[in-house]
Structure 1
Amino acid sequence: MNQVTGIDVRTAGRSDVRETAAVLARAFDDDPVMAWMFPDTEERPRRLPGLFSVLLRHQHLRHGAVRLGVDAGPAEDSSADRRRKRDEPIQGAALWDPPGQWRNPAWRELLALPGYARLFGRRLAVAGETVATLAAAHPEEPHWYLAVLGTEPTAQGRGVGAALLRSRLDVCDREGTPAYLESSKDRNVPYYERFGFRVTGEITIPHGGPTTWAMWRIPQG
């Protein structure tokens, strides 16, 4: 485990899917892109956990790069205490895709399609257009892709997001690999800039959809 700013960061497994999806659903309840795809404010909290479960199982988890943040114990914790940290509540998650792996192969998308159809219903075409618009603007140069970063609302401000970012960006710096993300909130742009990301363009979802900010980070040092 990586310990940063009082948070332990570890790699997610399949047993973490349900809790991770629930945390991300709460974190993204007010997200503009999620609100565009799920405009019903009562339905959104019920559907988002399912969406993140599908994304984890069919896209991100297979890379072994989904990172979870949990509370760090005291420095004198024994190794047994550390192992028990796996049972502590998840405070945040970062869904990273390695270089060249951000786009799902067609056969995997077909496997995931029934889940998406069940979740989006009549909004499936809107969701598909949203994903296609973001994908069309995605850079081709090899990079680590931060698809999702979310913190439990009650844990925001405690450095969970920073710990999750640093755990991967430190590797990017050592390996000399760029990183990329889309910020769906303009107020989050300065936050990502603190970690070396820079805005490279704006991506607007068609037909009145929200704008996201494409952000690229060159390796530091």
Structure 2
Amino acid sequence: MNDFDICQLDRSQITIAGEIAAKAFEDNPVFNYSLPEDPELRFQALTWLTSRAIDYCVQYKHVYTTSDLQGIAAWLPPGAFSSNPLQQLQMALQLQFYSLPLKVGWNRLGRLLNFLSVTEQAHHQDMGDLPHWYLWIMVVHPMFQGQGVGSRLLQPILQQASDEGLACYLITSTEQAVCFYQKNGFEIVRNQKIAPNAPPFWALKFDPCRNQRISYL
């Protein structure tokens, strides 16, 4: 893969991008905990959730992929994600969260809503009103994992954030993903569970000032 392979995801590619993301998240412990137990129903719910999230991010024009859709990195720019209740409501409506009971099922809805609530509280506590980039979705198709695709997909915004002096933030839920982000300059700022019987999640932050200092050593 070369520099020219990274491009913006087109709106016409959202459906297939959602399917790729759902495939990549198929064994994710948090989604296994908070989505339907039946594998087929869980995949359908995952595809819907990731498609909605990618569709939301596309409006900000910072969803990156490769020419053959090897992976997706969907970012929200500074100011696009707010803890203001009215803006959160508008965001929930645009994401069509009113359809969650039908897509997820009532028996797992509470778990998913709890996860969304706890992680947003963590996000607000960790970043407050500090302008930052928020990595909402980062996946690589299982066939292309371990080939440097993910690191390439991160570079456009990590470089822009470094140029602007802005932090980047994300939440993930596997140790493998944590190691990947650490290799790309992120540091762990939080490790917690949404419930005693739930799998953990991690919050990580990319500090452009620290990474610039390292690059000069």
Render the CA deviation track for 1:123-152: whole Å, top value 9, x for unaligned: 222211110000000022211111111011
Shift of residue 64, structure 1, vs aligned partner: 1.2
Q: How many residues align?
A: 199
Give secondary structure in 1 for the equivalent of 2:59. helix
User: CA contact under 8 A between 1:54 and 1:115: conserved in structure 2?
Assistant: no
1:30 maps to 2:15: no
Task: Please give the alpha-carbon distance, in whole angstroms, between the structure 2 residues aligned to 1:117 and 1:45.
Answer: 15
Shift of residue 211, structure 1, vs aligned partner: 0.6
Mapping of residues 25-174 of structure 1, within 5 Å: 25-38=22-35, 39-57=37-55, 59-70=56-67, 89-103=68-82, 105-111=88-94, 112-122=96-106, 123-138=108-123, 139-140=127-128, 141-174=130-163
1:8 maps to 2:22: no
Shift of residue 113, structure 1, vs aligned partner: 2.2
Q: Considering only aligned residues, what root-mean-square deviation do their CA atoms show, in Å?
A: 1.9
Shift of residue 3, structure 1, vs aligned partner: 4.5
Task: Please give the alpha-carbon distance, in whole angstroms, between the structure 2 residues aligned to 1:119 and 1:135.
Answer: 21
Task: Please give the alpha-carbon distance, in whole angstroms, between the structure 2 residues aligned to 1:165 and 1:203.
Answer: 25
User: CA contact under 8 A between 2:54 and 2:137: conserved in structure 1?
Assistant: no
Give secondary structure in 1 for the equivalent of 2:40. coil
Give the residue type in structure 2 aligned to 1:132.
S
Runs of 4+ in 1 over 4 A off after TM superposition: none
1:196 maps to 2:185: yes
Give the residue type in structure 2 aligned to 1:115.
S
1:217 maps to 2:206: yes
Find the counterpart in structure 2 of residue 19 from structure 1. 16
Shift of residue 116, structure 1, vs aligned partner: 2.2
Query: How does the TM-score come out when normalised to structure 2?
Result: 0.84
Give secondary structure in 1 for the equivalent of 2:185. coil
Give the residue type in structure 2 aligned to 1:23.
I
Task: Please give the alpha-carbon distance, in whole angstroms, between the structure 2 residues aligned to 1:100 and 1:176.
Answer: 15
Give secondary structure in 1 for the equivalent of 2:195. coil
User: CA contact under 8 A between 2:64 and 2:72: conserved in structure 1?
Assistant: yes
Task: Please give the alpha-carbon distance, in whole angstroms, between the structure 2 residues aligned to 1:180 and 1:113.
Answer: 23
Give secondary structure in 2 for the equivalent of 1:150. strand
Task: Please give the alpha-carbon distance, in whole angstroms, between the structure 2 residues aligned to 1:203 and 1:102.
Answer: 22
Shift of residue 216, structure 1, vs aligned partner: 0.9
Query: How does the TM-score come out when normalised to structure 1?
Result: 0.83
Task: Please give the alpha-carbon distance, in whole angstroms, between the structure 2 residues aligned to 1:90 and 1:187.
Answer: 22
Give the residue type in structure 1 aligned to 2:150.
G
User: CA contact under 8 A between 2:188 and 2:203: conserved in structure 1?
Assistant: yes
Give secondary structure in 2 for the equivalent of 1:214. strand
Give the residue type in structure 1 aligned to 2:77.
P
Give the residue type in structure 2 aligned to 1:195.
N
CA gap of 1:189–1:108, structure 2 versus 1, over 3 A, is closer
Shift of residue 207, structure 1, vs aligned partner: 4.8
Gaps spanning 5+ residues in structure 2: where? 213-217
Give the residue type in structure 1 aligned to 2:207.
I
